[in-house]
Amino acid sequence: MILKNISLGSYNTFGLNYITEFFVSVKTEGEAIKIFKSAGTIRQPLLILGGGSNMLFTGDYRGTIIHPEIKSIVIEEKNDEYVVISAGAGEEWDEFVGWTVDNGFGGLENLSLIPGTVGAAPVQNIGAYGVEVKDTIVKVRAVSTENGSIREFDKNDCIFGYRSSIFKTEMKGKYLVTRVFFKLAISPALNLIYGSLADEVSKLGGADLKNVRAAVIKIRKSKLPDPEIIGNAGSFFKNPVVDFSTAEALRKKYPQMPCYEDPSGGIKLAAGWLIDQCGWKGKVSGSAGVHDKQALVIVNCGGASGTEILNLAEEIRKSVWYRFEVELENEVEVISSI
């Protein structure tokens, strides 16, 4: 059913109360096929919106928002070593991770408590605590938004990158992900290399799936604002990757600057550190602000407009450029009013 003039307040984690002109919730793959076969009759432009935890609206949306609510978790294949599970795009990501951990299937535990939906996980190639979701994905099933045809993307077809995939680049807006297929381990090798994870896990009684999930949740809750309480979309910017000589020059000037080798061959810098050095942590500008525990997170202090949040992001970007000559790129997708 196509709904008209729906508030987006509960569909974005910044808590911004804009209106979408049209809103369609899709409960099955069949519904998605039907809608997109008659795409010509739907008011354009289309926007696929999961949990809205990586989106910043700057005004009302004049077009149609498609909201996938396709549910169900299916064990597709199982043997002594691994299990292949498919999950509907509309499943809540963290509930799904909880289900995998409760069933003893390993691979997603480090990605606990990331807000959003299963369908967005491959789009974003979500990552945390040394793991990216691409490490477990075998294929992604999707429906063309142009003609309603079904296509299955194998892992290699997805062209995963840092918080990126084909669904954010050349196929952006062209496919609605309906199901995601994950290969998870029955006797998983746990990944505890990141930060204080190993310490937290040992405090909880030792390394097993449940303790890793509990530790990740504990650490995340201590560092990141809960969008139910303070509107935010997690990291506003990506960690920038610079070439080796730029990193060396910066390291000479700022020996304490964190940096890591990136698989691309460049050096990844910590955007949060760069922003913090510019004095932004905890600063408030009007109704928007920078979180006091994590400079990478811009928050809606209450009643901010999308433009206010975007303007603050712009100020932060400029100050990082002036001080370090490093360009920050948005991780959050800005949806301008049209």
Ligand X SMILES: Cc1cc2nc3c(=O)[nH]c(=O)nc-3n(C[C@H](O)[C@H](O)[C@H](O)COP(=O)(O)OP(=O)(O)OC[C@H]3O[C@@H](n4cnc5c(N)ncnc54)[C@H](O)[C@@H]3O)c2cc1C
**Closest residue by Cα to residue 150 from 45, 72, 70, 34:** 34
> How many Å is the Cα radius of gyration of the chain?
20
Based on the shown chain and the rule CB under 6 A, indicate whether residue 166 belongs to the binding site for ligand X.
no
Residue 20 is a binding residue for ligand X (CB under 6 A): no
Is residue 38 annotated as part of the catalytic site, yes or no? no
CA 220 to chain centre: 14
Is residue 54 near ligand X by the rule CB under 6 A?
A: yes
Whichever of 20 and 53 has its CB closer to ligand X, that residue is 53
Q: How far is the CB of 255 from ligand X (least distance, A)?
A: 28
**Which C-beta is closer to ligand X: that of 138 or that of 186?**
138
Could you tell me which stretch among 120-128, 181-189, 193-201, 258-266 binds ligand X (CB under 6 A)? 120-128
C-beta of residue 22 within 8 angstroms of C-beta of residue 3: yes
Structure tokens at 97: 């991770």
| Total residues found in the chain within this entry | 338
User: Is the distance from CB of 176 to CB of 142 less than 8 angstroms?
Assistant: yes
Query: By CB under 6 A, is residue 299 in contact with ligand X?
Result: no
Q: What does the block give as tokens for 66?
A: 């498609």
Residues 224, 230, 233, 235: what is their CA dihedral angle, to the nearest 10 degrees? -40
Q: Does 289 contact ligand X by CB under 6 A?
A: no
Residue 106 touches ligand X, criterion: CB under 6 A: no
Options 31, 91, 200, 331, the catalytic residue = 331
- Only one of the segments 113-121, 193-201, 247-255, 271-279 lies at the binding site for ligand X (rule: CB under 6 A); that segment is 113-121
Site membership for ligand X, residue 119 (CB under 6 A): yes
187 assigned to active site: no
Query: Under the criterion CB under 6 A, does residue 64 sit at the interface with ligand X?
Result: no
Tokens 């499943």 correspond to what residue? 91
Out of 53, 165, 235, 305, pick the active-site residue.
235
For residues 276 and 333, which CB has a smaller minimum distance to ligand X in the complex? 333
User: Is residue 171 near ligand X by the rule CB under 6 A?
Assistant: no
124 touches ligand X (CB under 6 A):
yes
Query: Does 116 contact ligand X by CB under 6 A?
Result: yes
Q: Which of 83, 89, 192, 278 binds ligand X (CB under 6 A)?
A: 89
Told to judge if 251 belongs to the known catalytic residues of this protein, a careful annotator would answer: no
Interaction of residue 294 with ligand X, rule CB under 6 A: no
Interface with ligand X: number of residues (CB under 6 A)? 33
CB of 180 vs ligand X, minimal distance in Å: 9
**247 near ligand X, judged by CB under 6 A:** no
Interacting span for ligand X (CB under 6 A) from 99-107, 121-129, 271-279, 304-312: 121-129
The piece of 124-132, 244-252, 261-269, 283-291 that touches ligand X (CB under 6 A) is 124-132
Tell me which residues in 200-239 interact with ligand X (CB under 6 A): 224, 227, 232-234
Catalytic residue among 86, 112, 132, 163: 163
In the complex, the residues that contact ligand X under the rule CB under 6 A are 13, 48-55, 68, 89, 114-117, 119-121, 123-124, 126-128, 163, 167, 176-177, 224, 227, 232-234, 333
Enumerate the active-site residues.
163, 235, 331
